[in-house]
Each structure stands twice: as C-alpha cells, then as structure tokens.
Amino acid sequence: MPSSDRANPSRRAVFAVCLLAAVSGACASVQPWQRARLADPCMTFEANAALTAYASHWQESREGSSGGAGVQGGGCACK
C-alpha cells in the first residue's frame, strides 16, 4: 500500500513548480529583439505535437507509467 514517504517526491515536485513560478518573474528578461534563436521551432516544446502524441500513445500501451505531457484522452489499443 502507498505510504506517505512514497508520496513525498510528488509533494516536492509540486513545491518545486510553485517555487519556480514564484521566482520566475525575477529571472533575466529576454527582450523581443534578442529572441532570434528562441524563435526557431527547434526551441519550442510543442513543435512536434503530433509526433509527441503518438509516441505517448504507444509508450503508454507498453509501459506502466504515463504523464508529463499534459492531460490526454483515454483508450489504449493495447490488448
């Protein structure tokens, strides 16, 4: 059965995200004219969304874990 000790990593993760959100405003601000390389599609996390969604789909049908790519629909086609 789950123990509170095992759930601690997720609590630490939530805390880390909240902390990053709180301090992110203090991070160095990159101006629009400095964003040339940031604008490249290779720097976008959602650049290959269709490929990422398919990869998540077949990996979830083979592995016991899931998540980390936003909420998704169900169904597995994994019999």
Partner 1 sequence: MPANSGSRSRLPFRLGLTAGALATGALFAMVFAPTFGRKSESEDINIFFHGFQDSRGVTVLSPTVDLTKDFTDRTSLKAKFGVDAISASSDSCARCHPDGIRSARAVASATLNRKYGDTTVGIGGEFSQENFYRATTLSTSVSRNLNKGNTTIAGGYAFSLNQPVLHPSEFTERQYAHDAYASVTQTLTKTTVVQVGVEVAQIRGYQTSPFLRAALNGVLVPGNSPDLRNRYTFSARIKQALPASTYLDIDYRRYHDSWQLDSNSFGIGLSRHFGDTIVASGAVRLYDQTGAYFYAPSYTGSPLYYTGDFRLFPFNSDLVTGRVVYTPKDGLFGMRPGSALTLQYERYWTTRSFDAAIFTGGITIPFGRKAP
Residues engaged in binding partner 1 (CB under 8 A): 1-2, 6-7, 9-10, 13-14, 16-17, 20-21, 24-25, 27-32, 34-35, 37-38, 40-43, 45, 49-51, 53-55, 58, 61-79
* Strand runs labelled E in the chain: none
CA distance 14 to 28: 23
Q: How far is the CB of 55 from partner 1 (least distance, A)?
A: 8
Q: How far is the CB of 39 from partner 1 (least distance, A)?
A: 10
CA distance 4 to 64: 21
